[in-house]
Homo-oligomer: A and B are copies of this chain.
C-alpha cells in the first residue's frame, strides 16, 4: 500500500546526508517541478550508471574513450596531478590554478585492507610518465596516513624517471584560524623530504605559478627547505614528504 510519494521519499533517504525530513521536502519539490526537469534529473542518474566508464588515460569518470580534460588540447600535457578519486579532480579544477592533466589512482595504499600498489593505477602512472614526456608530477593525495604513504610510494616509484615530484601544500586552510590549528598543520613552512636525492619532493605553495606571491615565497621556501634538510632529527610528521 506504499504510495508513490512514500516510495520516492524512501528512495531518496538512501542518499548520504539525506534524512527523512529532507527526503520529504525533496519529494514534494520534485512533485511540483515541471515534468521535463524531473525527467532530466532521473535521466542524469540513469546516464551516470549506464554510460560512466574510466578515461583510458587518467581514470577520471567519463562517458567517452577519453575524459574532457584529457581531450582538451589547451591543457599543459607535461604536468600531472595525481589524485586518489575522480571526485578530487573537481575540487582542484575549481581552484582554476592548475592547467595540466590528472591521474586518478582510484584509491590510496592501505596494505592492512589489502589495498596494495597493484590495486591502484600506479603501474599506469609510471608508464604514462615514461611515455608521454611528463616533466612534473604533483601528488594531491589526502593529507592522512594512507595518502602520505601513497605519496611516498609514488616518489620512490618515479625516482628513476627523472621527473620533478612535488606534493600539494600543507598549511592552514584559507579562512581558518591559527588558534584552532593542530600542531602539525600550524608548523610554519613545514617542508619535508626524507631525502632530496633523485626526484625532489618538497612542499610547493599550492599550484601557483609565476605570480608575485610565488616569486617571493619560492626563494624563502627554498632556503627553508635547505635548512630543514640539514637538521638531522626529524619527527615522523615533519618527514611527511
A residues within 8 Å of B by Cβ?
Answer: 1-5, 7-12, 14-18, 22, 24-31, 33, 35, 37-49, 51-52, 61-63, 67-68, 71-72, 85-87, 90
Q: Specify which of B14, B29, B42 is in contact with A46 (CB 8 Å cutoff).
A: B42
List, in ascending order, chain B residues with CB within 8 A of A28's CB: 85-87
List, in ascending order, chain B residues with CB within 8 A of A86's CB: 5, 28
A41 with B63: in contact, given A27-B48, A31-B48 (CB under 8 Å)?
no
List, in ascending order, chain B residues with CB within 8 A of A87's CB: 24-25, 28
Give this chain's copy count.
2
B3 touches A68 (CB 8 A): yes
Write the chain B residue with the least CB distance to A94: B20
A49 touches B61 (CB 8 A): no
Q: List 29 A-B contacts (CB under 8 A).
A: A1-B68, A2-B68, A3-B62, A3-B63, A4-B61, A5-B52, A7-B44, A8-B44, A8-B48, A9-B90, A11-B40, A11-B41, A14-B41, A15-B41, A16-B29, A17-B22, A18-B26, A24-B87, A28-B85, A28-B87, A30-B48, A31-B49, A31-B61, A33-B49, A38-B45, A39-B45, A41-B45, A42-B46, A45-B45
A15 touches B30 (CB 8 A): yes
How far is A210 from B48 in the complex, measured between Cα atoms in Å?
53
B48 touches A5 (CB 8 A): yes
A49 with B44: in contact, given A4-B63, A24-B87, A61-B31 (CB under 8 Å)?
no
Write the chain B residue with the least CB distance to A38: B49
Write the chain B residue with the least CB distance to A87: B28
Write the chain B residue with the least CB distance to A88: B28
Write the chain B residue with the least CB distance to A5: B61
B30 touches A12 (CB 8 A): no
Q: 4 smallest A-B Cβ distances: which pairs? A: A42-B42, A8-B44, A11-B44, A42-B45
Most B CB within 10 A of own CB, among A2, A26, A38, A48: A48
Nearest CB of chain B from residue A85's CB, rounded to whole Å: 8
B67 touches A3 (CB 8 A): yes
A3 touches B61 (CB 8 A): yes
